[in-house]
Amino acid sequence: MDTARWRLRTGPHLLVLDACAAVVVIAAYAALAGQDASDGVPGFSGPLWEGWLIAVGVGAPLAVRRLWPLPALAAVLGASTAATLLDITRDPYLPTALAVYAVALIEPARRARTALALTLAGSAAAVVTGEAALTPSGPWAEAVGTAALVWLVLAAAWTAGRVVRERRDRAVRRERRLAEEALAEERLRIARELHDIVSHSLSVIVVKAAVANHVAEERPQETREAVRAIEHLGREALTEMRRALGVLRGDTEGRGARSPASAETAPPPGLDDLPSLVRRAEQAGVRTRLGARPAAALPAGTALTVYRIVQEALTNVIKHAGDGTRCQVTITADARGGVHVEVVDDGAGNAAVTGRADLTGGHGLVGMRERVMMYGGTLEVGPRPGGGFAVSARLPPDPAQDTPTSRQETTA
C-alpha cells in the first residue's frame, strides 16, 4: 500500500487534531525557552526570538506529519536536536515520537525502519552531547539513561504506528477477500442459472430436431409437430433467459411501464411450473409422472431450488435414457419446510435411436450439488440396482424463513 493511498485516507478531522497538537507543542517549547535554571538543570540563555524559532521548528511540522511524514520527521528531529543542545528540551522527545508514529503508520516498512534508525542515532547523539559535554548537568551515566528513555519513547511510538498499519492492512485484505468471494459466488450463481435455463431447453430441442429429421419423409405430420414443439420450447427458453438477465442486471428503471406478465417482472419458477417440465419431457419421448405432496407453502428460494433440481434431472434423462423411458418425479415437503426431491427412471429407453447418445454431460450435477449445499442438504445420484438412474436430494428447513411464493404449490 503506497503513501498516496494513505494520504487519501487521511480525514480532515485528523489534520485538525495535528494542527492543534502543533500549537500545543509550540506553546510548550516557547514556555521552556523562557524557563530559568532554578530547578538545577541548565536553562536557555539565548535571545527570545531564537527560542520561538526553535519552538516553531519543533511543533509546526507536526501539523503536516500525515501528509509528508518523512520531511516532517526530519524537521522535528533537527529542531529537537537544536533544542537539546541549547538546553530548551525538558521532555523525552515527545514531538519526535509523534512524527515517528506517522512515519511508521504511512511509509513502507523498509523506509520506516531506516527512518527509525536515523532518529534513534540522532536523538542519542544530541542528548549525550548536550547533557554530558556542552552543558553537563550530571554524570555520563545519567546522560546515557536519558538517551535510553528517549529511545524507549521513540521505539514505542514506532511500534504503535506499525501495529495500527498492520491492523488496517488486514482489514483491507479481509474486505478485498470478502468482495472476491462474493464475486465468485455471484459468478457461480449466474453460471448455474444460465446452465439450467439453456441446457434443459436445448436438450429437448435437439431431441425433437433429431426426431423430425428421422421421420421427415415418412411422417410429415409428426415432423410438423416436432417443429412446433421446437418453436414453443425456443420461445420459453427466450422468456426464461430474458427473466434471468433482467434479474442479473438489477435494472428497475422503467419497470412500472411493463406489464405484470413481462419476462422481467415474472416471478421465479417454482412448484407450479413443474407440470410444464413434465410436458417437455413427454414431448421428448420420456413418459413422466409427477407426484407432489407439499404440506405447506415453500419459501421462494427453496421452491426455485426444487424446480432447478428436477429440471436438471429430467434433462439428464432426456439426454441419456431415450424414447420409452419411464420416469417418476416425487416431491415431498413437510410442515417445517424440509423437502425431499426424487427423480427415478427405469433406463428402458434407447438413446441411440434418436441420436441423443452423442449428447455429453456438462456441469449439471455440479450445479445441483452446489444448490443443495447452499441449503445444507444432501444429494445422492447414481445408477439403480435394477437399472436406470436415480437422483435424490434432501433440503432441510430454511432457518431464514424466506417469504413463501405467492403461488399455491399444493396444486402441483
State mean pLDDT over 279-297: 79
Could you state, in order of their start, the residue ranges of all structural domains in the chain? 3-179, 270-412
| Structure-block grid coordinates of residue 75 | 524537521
Give the rounded percent of residues in the chain with a pLDDT score beyond 90.
Answer: 15
Cα–Cα distance measured from residue 361 to residue 19, given in angstroms and rounded to the nearest whole number: 68
Single out the residue of 393, 377, 380, 285 nearest to residue 330, CA to CA. Answer: 393
Give the pTM.
Answer: 0.52
| Structure-block grid coordinates of residue 387 | 437399472
Q: How many CB atoms lie within 10 A of CB 59?
A: 23
142/159: higher pLDDT:
159
Give the pLDDT band of residue 156 (cuts 50, 70, 90): very high
H-type alpha helices, 34-139: 48-59, 69-85, 94-106, 109-129
233/312: higher pLDDT:
312
The topology (CATH level 3) of 270-412 is Heat Shock Protein 90 (3.30.565)
For 351, the 3-state DSSP assignment is coil
CA-angle at 332, arms to 331 and 337, nearest 5°: 120
- Asked whether the predicted pLDDT for residue 73 surpasses 90, the reply is yes
Q: Which pLDDT score, from 0 to 100, does residue 237 have?
A: 72
State mean pLDDT over 284-292: 84
Q: Which of 26-30, 41-45, 149-153, 223-227 ranks highest by mean pLDDT?
A: 149-153
Q: Which pLDDT score, from 0 to 100, does residue 350 have?
A: 57
Residue 404 per-residue DSSP state: B
Single out the residue of 213, 221, 179 nearest to residue 354, CA to CA. Answer: 213
Q: For the chain, how far is it from start to end, CA to CA, in angstroms? A: 57
Cα–Cα distance measured from residue 393 to residue 371, given in angstroms and rounded to the nearest whole number: 10
